[in-house]
Structure 1
Amino acid sequence: MVSVRAVVAHDELHRGGESLVLVDGQVHRVSALGTFIREQADGPVTLEELAQVLETAFGPPPEGTALEQTRAAVEVLLAAGLLEAVAG
C-alpha cells in the first residue's frame, strides 16, 4: 500500500489556516486544506486514513467521495513537491 508524507520544509509560515512553505528554493502558498493534509502527513499516512480524518474535520465533500477528493488534493501536493510517496 502506498502512503504519503509531508516533505520537510526549509521554512514555513502559518496564518489563518493557510501556509507559505519553502521547499527546494521555492515558496508555495498552501490552502487551509493543503496545510491540514501536510500536518496530518507528518509521518506516513495512507489516502484512506487521510480521507477519514478530512471527512471528520471538514464533513463530507459536496461532490464525489472523501477518498476521491483526498486523492485529487494529494496529487496536487505531490506535483508541487510538498508531499512524497513512501512505501508503507
Structure 2
Amino acid sequence: MRVRAVVAHDELHRDGESLVLLDGQVHRVSALGTMIRDRARHGASVEELAAALEEEFGRPTGGTALELTTGAVQTLLDVGLLAPEE
C-alpha cells in the first residue's frame, strides 16, 4: 500500500513532534507519526516508511518494523492525516 500525507491547514513542529490543524481539529502527532507524514509528503509505501523508521529509531521490540509501521499508518489514515495513494 502507498500513502500520501494530507495537506494540513497549519502545522507546528517542536522536538520531533507536531501539532497538525486539519478540518478544524488539532491533532498532536508523535515523533514517529510526524516522520511518517514527512516521508509520505510525496507518497511512500508502507515498506519504505518501515525501513526509514527502523533506520531512524532502531529495531522495534514487540513486533517487526513493518507490522508496527502498518499499525501507525492505519491510525494516521483513520484520523485523516494520511490518505491512500491511488
Taking only the aligned residue pairs, the percentage that are identical comes to 64
* TM-score, L = length of structure 1: 0.94
Aligned to 1:45: 44
- Count of residues in correspondence between the two structures: 86
Report the 3-state secondary structure (helix = DSSP H, G, I; strand = E; otherwise coil) of the residue aligned with 1:61. Answer: coil
Query: How far is 1:82 from its partner?
Result: 0.3
Matches within 5 A, 1:4-19: 4-19=3-18
In structure 1, C-alpha distance between the alignment counterparts of 2:32 and 2:49, rounded to whole Å:
11
Aligned to 1:24: 23
Amino acid at match of 1:49: E
* TM-score, L = length of structure 2: 0.96
Report the 3-state secondary structure (helix = DSSP H, G, I; strand = E; otherwise coil) of the residue aligned with 2:7. Answer: coil
Report the 3-state secondary structure (helix = DSSP H, G, I; strand = E; otherwise coil) of the residue aligned with 1:27. Answer: strand
Query: Any unmatched runs of 5+ in structure 1?
Result: none
Query: How far is 1:44 from its partner?
Result: 1.1
Structure 1 residue ranges (4+ consecutive) displaced by more than 2 angstroms after TM superposition: none
Report the 3-state secondary structure (helix = DSSP H, G, I; strand = E; otherwise coil) of the residue aligned with 2:85. Answer: strand
Aligned to 2:82: 83
